Structure 1
Amino acid sequence: MSLNKKNIHKIDSSAEIIILNKTKNLEQNQEELLENINFYEKSFNTYFDIKNNILYVSCLKFKKENIKTAFCTAIRFFKNLKIENLKINITQAKKELELQTIVEGLVLGNYEFLKYKSSNEKEKIKNINICTKSSSKTKEELEIELKKAFIICNSVNFTKDIVNNSPQDYYPQIMADDALKIAEKHKNIECKIFGEDYLKQKGMNALYSVGIASPHESKLIHLTYKVKNPIAKIILVGKGVTYDTGGMSLKRGDGMVSMKCDKAGAASIMGVIQALGSLELPFEVHGILGAVENMIGGDAYKPGDILKAANSKTIEVTNTDAEGRLVLADCLVYAQKNIQDFDYIFDLATLTGASIGAFGGYTTAVMGYNEKTKKKILKASKKSGELVGFLPFNDYLEKLLESQVADFVNTSANKNGAAITASLFLSKFIKNKNKKKWLHFDIAGPSYRQENWAYHSYGATGVAIRLLIKFMEDLKK
């Protein structure tokens, strides 16, 4: 993808993409044709003018997310055609678009996971020229904007690849290897890997117990992005369950098929750290990832077991399929013990189906005690296009976590408000002095969709990367 200051008509290309929400600027015969085929009946209809090699895409709501989907529609249209290059005017429908909007629509919309296809060769577009002649920005400003957009989109697609990888190929050691590769590529990123001996030594029995029946050793991964004189210190804690059978509380067959997605929280944090390595935002960011595989076997942990977490709190296991909160519990304790004077601590996890029930499958459920931080997340949500919703805590739901034999249970028999009770469980592992710094992100719905959704392809979406990057950019202002 390249920028071009020439007039759009003088740029040599195989085809042009034009996004329309009205017909005023078209020639009369073109206007009549589009009206006759009901082009504007709904958004994302397409018409290819083969004579002039122009693809028209309708976009009735000319907002960023709709525009991204329109460009996604266009790039998918050209996938199976032998088109070598395309051109796009940065001004569409008399509005100058942000390069971030164009790039996200094209790059994220073009993503496919073809690793396991016997024939995975597709016709590839060699270049997309973006005509910037009408732009109000300088060439240098546009180049910076384009570079940033690619860094973020490539990190999102990197995360998608991690989540989409099958469980036989992607297990805790592979996640640790990928984390090390990120550190090797960026001088401002460090990586530490800890195995099961460390987990046992540090009393991280909740995390350790989840992976005990797996042939693959559980890993605690600590990625650190550092710059000189950071303006804030942020901790991101991620659930990295590379596959989840449900353990002894076995999932039903259909519910198990997509459980490679249970590593999405950790994968998204890896994507954030990778992006930061190139964006060089002025923060210190720690990524704490609990990489485990929840399997069944003679040595698996069981309902009725009492686990002592790293903060010495005891947990009665009532359901081994509520494993993610056990992984996060020890990771949260580790983070607070080993990282001092931080400003924010967020955890990301595909934690509950209840969050999908609350908001549908496209929205991240956010919970925590700090209303100001929630407002910052909401602001970043609106700017990035990643949907968030907020669920409230209350004392009545917290009582559902009480245990007669331990400090608390890992899940209640009462399933009402299950996304909230899961978050309240995690709050037990946040020190009182840090509760205002903490937010929980339940990404169970938007992290993985078994459908094409807007400019997201079937499967992983790389959720929360753009949200968290935007959150940090806003802190910088």
Structure 2
Amino acid sequence: MKIKIVEKFKSKDFDLEIILVNKIEDLGENKDLLESLDFKIKDESSIFLPESKKIYSAFEEFNYDSIAIAIATAIKKATSTKFKTVKLVLNNFLEDNFKALVEGAILGAYKFENYKSEKNKNDLELNFVVEKKSSKLSDVLEESKIIASSVNCARDMVNTAPADFTPKSFAEAAQNIAKEFDLECEVFGEKYLEKQKMMSMHSVGRASVHESQLIHLKYKPKKAKTKVVLVGKGLTYDSGGLSLKPADFMITMKADKSGGVAVLNTIKTIAALKLPIEVHAIVGAVENMIGGNAYKPDDILRAKNGKTIEVRNTDAEGRLVLADCLCYAQDEIKDFNYILDFATLTGACVVGLGEYTTGIMGNCEELKHKALVSCQNSGEYATKLDFNRYLKKCIKSEIADVCNISNTRYGGAITAGMFLDNFIYEENKNKWVHFDIAGPAFVEKAWGYNPYGASGTGVRMAVQFIKDLVN
């Protein structure tokens, strides 16, 4: 979808007009007609009047989410027609919320049709009409286009079938990003994992015909103000291993790579925005399968930092991959200021928070709050989940340093986060935040400006967190 800012006096005729409304009184000349059609001021409520060629779309609240949903709903309505151009006249309020308008429009227009034999061919052009162009609006437009396009790219990657997106595909995607933005990229295979004694990650992928890949992308601008490390869980498919998932639970497990995908598209966005922050993106790209060489419940694995892990469930594999990736990051990257990991880690987080909310965990209250604020300012939903000394006892092993699952069915999101804490070195405890994105990363129904399937969760919140470090 093309998006432009046009000045009113240069404005031409457009096929359609979008009008965003918060009050019935704002409906203008079509008020009686819209009321007779039972149009209500509710999020996701819109109506198309063919005679006047106007789309009315309502928003309940004066915030990012409501406005982004309103324009996304209108754009969906517009793309269901054969019209090609649409305008939205900006007033002062809408100019102040221009970021939400641009991102909502792009995210709302997204469709995943890579596997469709017939594709939607409606290339809509959206024109924001203003009295006079300003550099501020132009800057917001360009930045928001970059961010929203990266989110849509993440959606594409996550939605891609596991046969078409293997660990090697992950590495190729990283190498393509490196080439486009002149980044450094290192990719390591299973021999490297063995040599570095990263047997926690290595064991998870050893039954797959697709070799596990450790990916490290580096964005190093001159005079960087700070250094951020991003670590992502990249399970290209998760069968559950020998602790095999039930058939219904195995569907959508292509989405278990969402954390790694978020990390890749975040560093791509930071590079495109040319922010003065050094960023490292590390992804453990692995496929968890069954076979004669599969790792087993009762195995004892040794991670890169020397800690031993009792495996009691091979479906708790993401934390095993992240354990070694976190150790690798801390061993290889010196003097970083923050280390953030993103993972579709636990079903327990979905049970506790619902499908739309990320769980934020870590040891530093100030840093968790900072992450929460950045997340909310980005348009994503999140809440903090606090560690607890009593839950720590639940992952104690009698025969190893730690167990990969809890001995209780309760608090599973937190105990998974506390498992990862075993692989954060003491000097980095207060630099680390864990984001469990299992809920919002992939939802099998449309919600707000998000489609069926992948949402691209993690990209906007990570970008906003890094942007906030500059401001």
After alignment, is 99-108 or 265-274 more displaced?
99-108
The residue type equivalent to 2:109 in the other structure is N
Contact kept? 1:7, 1:131, Cα under 8 Å: no
Residue of structure 1 in register with 2:152 after alignment: 157
Matched, 1:22 2:23: yes
Alignment of 1:144-183 (within 5 A): 144-183=139-178
- The answer to whether the 8 A contact 2:327-2:424 is kept is yes
State the one-letter code of the partner of 1:329.
Answer: A
Corresponding residue number in structure 1 for 2:327 = 333
Distance, in Å, in 2 between the alignment partners of 1:475 and 1:295 is 40
Amino acid of the residue matched to residue 127 of structure 2?
N
Distance across 2 between alignment mates of 1:143 and 1:227: 24
Alpha-carbon separation, structure 1, partners of 2:64 and 2:120: 31
Q: Deviations over 1:250-277 (max 9, x none)?
A: 0000000100000000000011011111
Q: For residues 201 and 43 of structure 1, what CA distance do their matches in structure 2 show?
A: 55
Which of the residues 271, 274, 281 maps onto 1:280? 274
The percentage of aligned residue pairs carrying the same residue is 45
Q: Deviation of residue 7 (structure 1)? A: 4.5
Question: Which residue, 461, 465, 474 being the options, matches 2:468?
Answer: 474
2:8 counterpart SS class:
coil
Deviation at 1:412, TM superposition (A): 1.9
Deviation at 1:357, TM superposition (A): 1.1
Give the drift of 1:41.
5.5
1:422 Cα deviation after fit: 0.5
Question: What SS is found at the alignment partner of 1:24?
Answer: helix
Q: How far apart in 2 are the matches of 1:65 and 1:40? A: 18
Q: CA-to-partner distance for each residue in 1:112-146, whole Å, 9 max, x for gaps?
A: 11111121233221x21111216xxx522222211
- Matched residue, 2:43: 43
Q: 2:234·2:284 contact (CA, 8 Å) conserved in 1?
A: yes
Q: Which amino acid aligns with 2:97?
A: E
Amino acid at match of 1:261: A
Is 1:117 the equivalent of 2:116? yes
Does the C-alpha gap of structure 1 residues 319 and 49 become closer, same or farther in structure 2, counting only changes over 3 Å?
same
CA contact (8 A) 1:206 1:330 kept: yes
Q: How many Å separate the matches in 2 of 1:406 and 1:26?
A: 67
Aligned residue for 2:56, secondary structure, equals strand
Instruction: Give me the whole-angstrom Cα distance separating, in 2, the residues matched to 1:159 and 1:43.
Output: 26
Report the counterpart of residue 82 of structure 2 in structure 1.
82
- Structure 2 counterparts to residues 176-215 of structure 1, below 5 A: 176-187=171-182, 189-215=183-209
SS at match of 2:235: strand
Partner residue in 2 for 1:401: 395
Determine the structure 1 residue equivalent to 2:439.
Answer: 445
- Offset of residue 380 of structure 1: 1.1
- Find 1:131's aligned residue among 129, 132, 145: 129
Aligned equivalent of 1:232 = 226
Distance 2:43 2:457 in 1: 24
Q: Which residue of 1 is the match for residue 106 of structure 2?
A: 107
Q: Which residue of the partner structure matches residue 96 of structure 1? A: 95
Pairwise CA distance, 1:74: 0.8
Amino acid at match of 1:296: I
Equivalent residue, structure 2, for 1:5: 7
Code of the aligned partner of 1:159: A
CA contact (8 A) 2:41 2:59 kept: no
- Equivalent position to 2:423, from 426, 429, 438: 429
Larger CA deviation: 435-444 vs 29-38: 29-38
- Indicate if the aligned counterparts of 1:90 and 1:97 stay in contact, CA closer than 8 A: no
2:395–2:407 CA contact under 8 A, matched in 1 = no
The superposition leaves residues 153-192 of structure 1 with CA deviations (integer Å, 9 ceiling, x where unpaired) of 11101111110000111110000000000000012x2110
Other-structure match for 2:371: 377
Return closer, same or farther for 1:58/1:197 CA change in 2, 3 Å cut-off: same
Amino acid at match of 1:302: K
Counterpart amino acid of 1:466? R
Change beyond 3 A, Cα 1:461–1:25? closer
Deviation of 1:62 (Å): 3.0
Query: Within 2, Cα distance between the matches of 1:89 and 1:41?
Result: 19
What is the alpha-carbon distance in structure 2 between the residues aligned to residue 73 and residue 393 of structure 1?
A: 39
- Separation (CA, whole Å) in 2 of partners of 1:87 and 1:102: 12
Task: Check whether the contact 1:218–1:292 (CA below 8 A) recurs between aligned residues.
Answer: yes
The separation in 2 between residues aligned to 1:106 and 1:95, in whole angstroms, is 13
Q: Verify the 8 A CA contact 1:446 1:461 in the aligned structure 2.
A: yes
- Distance in 2 between the 1:231 and 1:43 partners? 40
Q: Comparing 250-259 with 33-42, which one deviates more in the overlay?
A: 33-42
Partners of 1:80 and 1:122 within 8 A in 2: no
Deviation at 1:383, TM superposition (A): 1.3
> Counterpart of 1:4 in 2: which secondary structure?
strand
Q: How far apart, in 2, do the equivalents of 1:307 and 1:407 lie?
A: 10
Asked whether the equivalents of residues 48 and 77 of structure 2 are also in contact (C-alpha less than 8 Å), the reply is no
What is the correspondence of 1:221-370 to structure 2 with a 5 Å cutoff?
221-370=215-364
How far off its partner does 1:415 sit?
A: 1.5
Unmatched runs of 5 consecutive residues or more in structure 2? none
Alignment counterpart, residue 214 of structure 2, candidates 217, 220, 241: 220
State the TM-score, normalized to the length of structure 2: 0.97
**Match of 1:96, SS?**
helix
Structure 1 residues 23 and 414, CA, compared in 2 at 3 Å: closer, same or farther?
closer
Separation (CA, whole Å) in 2 of partners of 1:420 and 1:46: 40
* Contact 1:309 1:330 (8 Å CA) reproduced: yes
